[in-house]
Amino acid sequence: EPEVTQTPSHQVTQMGQEVILRCVPISNHLYFYWYRQILGQKVEFLVSFYNNEISEKSEIFDDQFSVERPDGSNFTLKIRSTKLEDSAMYFCASRFGSGGGDTQYFGPGTRLTVL
């Protein structure tokens, strides 16, 4: 069964450093998402991406964040200058179409620890 994959599973970085989190969505999916989950809290929407551009973003997704689909398979989240409060689990998700009933499938997540 196709699945969303994410690398690395765990990333440790120093405050102020740049990190890139990588995702490979399900191959025929068209809509891509990033969510994050701070330890012990709920899953929060960050950004959605369609047709090579951001379609929606939350207030969390400030200028320090960017997303890119550099090729036909990868979808990346970059944090330019990490802060302690960026420590969280980051989930990538993808969806095939625009139908209201279409399911988002999530990857296993990348745990980001900022020291």
Partner 1 sequence: AQSVAQPEDQVNVAEGNPLTVKCTYSVSGNPYLFWYVQYPNRGLQFLLKYITGDNLVKGSYGFEAEFNKSQTSFHLKKPSALVSDSALYFCAVRDISGGYQKVTFGTGTKLQVIP
**35 in Cβ contact with 43 (< 8 Å):** yes
Residues 22/26/32/35 CA torsion (nearest 10 deg): -60
Closest separation between CB of residue 98 and partner 1, Å? Answer: 7
CA distance to 7, 15, 29, 108, 113, per residue, from 72 (Å): 17, 31, 11, 20, 29
Position 17 contacts partner 1 (CB under 8 A): no
Whether residue 8 is preceded by a cis peptide bond, meaning omega within 30 degrees of 0, is yes
Closest separation between CB of residue 17 and partner 1, Å? Answer: 24
Residue indicated by tokens 């620890």: 113
Closest separation between CB of residue 99 and partner 1, Å? Answer: 9
Binding track over 35-54 against partner 1, x by CB under 8 A: x-----xxxxx--x-x----
Position 109 contacts partner 1 (CB under 8 A): yes
Position 56 contacts partner 1 (CB under 8 A): yes
- Footprint on this chain of partner 1 (rule: CB under 8 A): 4, 6, 31, 33, 35, 41-45, 48, 50, 55-56, 91, 93, 95, 98, 100-109
